[in-house]
Amino acid sequence: MRREELIAKALSGLRTDRQRAITLAEQRRALAYEKIPRLLALDNLSIETGLALARLGASRAGAEKLAEKQAQLDAIEAERAALLTQNGFDADALQPKFRCPICKDTGRDGSHLCRCVEQRVRALRREELMRTAPLAGSRFDNFDLSLYPDRPVPGGSTSIRRIMENNLVYCREYAANFGPGCPSLFLTGNAGLGKTHLALAIAGELITRGVDLLYIPSQIAFARIEQERREDPDETLGAMLDAELLILDDLGSEYLTGYLTSCIYRLVDTRLVAGPPTIYTSNIQAQQTLNARYGEKVGSRLFGECEILRFYGEDLRLIRRG
């Protein structure tokens, strides 16, 4: 979907939200008037007094007259608020509760689009990208540990199957306990060992809980960012930065330019500093390789500040074919 279409859809959603807020406020007002007969008289008196105050201001009346009329208006508002509270309403219960306090769900902040429109555009872009995520076949309950050999990892004593079982348990617990403070993960190993499967299993669990996440293959993500570079350089990258959880799959498969290298640094650095976690999957298994490809700052952040889960075994796709 083109950016103009996303903006139009975001504005349409805002109009719907605004009308809903106004309608609900009107319903609450009708209920309050029925329950508190004095309230309607106070509201009419408040309007009359407010208009009188405006007229005094326009005629440049003296400060004493203005203060007297303002005191009357304040007294009306105080009585009104007290009546609402005594009858179980919030003091502002009769006002529309708009989602955006800046534009009041109009989408406009003066002569410009409100920042809430951009937030909605990014959320819509995330939804669009997530529709291509292959979630259905990747679950914790069909991660088959029997496909991993029960022999020690090269140069170690722990079996490959036990390590993969530990990875499965860790990812299950990560999904179950997901929330503020969760670490970023770096899932690394050769192709076909289940890295994407477990990352998508986490995504599948969290989507059912309403977590605002984005799964996107690195190759697709950075191709889009390069394509948007001149028209809107922050659309896809902004959606990736904003996600409550970002799953960046197959890091290292993307075509790199100097611009994209700077975007990767911005992505990694911003999300690690700001706090929302990222799950990276990659065939790259050494920090030195990351340093050489993306620069030392990116490599040190990924290997120094992420939880590293290493995947071992043989390509599962070849095993299943056999």
Cα 142 to the center of its chain, rounded Å: 28
pLDDT score for 211: 85
Structure token pair of residue 311? 């995947």
What are the C-alpha distances in Å from 286 to residues 77, 126, 166, 310? 67, 30, 21, 11
- Which residues in the chain show pLDDT less than 70? 1-2, 129-130, 132, 135-136, 232-233, 317-322
CB 247 within 8 A of CB 202: yes
pLDDT score for 69: 86
pLDDT score for 136: 67
The Cα–Cα gap between 128 and 215 comes to: 11
Q: Rounded to 5 degrees, what are φ and ψ at 87?
A: -105, 20
Strand partners, 278: 246
User: Domain extents for the chain?
Assistant: 3-113, 132-321
For 42-92, the pLDDT digits (tens) are 889 999 988 988 898 888 888 888 888 899 989 998 988 898 889 988 878
CB 120 within 8 A of CB 14: yes
pLDDT score for 233: 64
The Cα–Cα gap between 201 and 135 comes to: 7
CATH topology of domain 132-321: Rossmann fold (3.40.50)
pLDDT score for 132: 67
pLDDT score for 185: 97
pLDDT score for 294: 95
Buried b (16+ CB within 10 A) or exposed e, 179-197: eeebebbbbbbeebbbbbb
DSSP structure string for 56-121: HHHTT--HHHHHHHHHHHHHHHHHHHHHHHHTT--TTTTS---S-TTTTTSSEETTEE-HHHHHHH
Return the SS3 of 220. helix
Return the SS3 of 189. coil
The Cα–Cα gap between 89 and 292 comes to: 62
pLDDT score for 321: 58
- At which residue do the structure tokens 């999957």 appear? 281
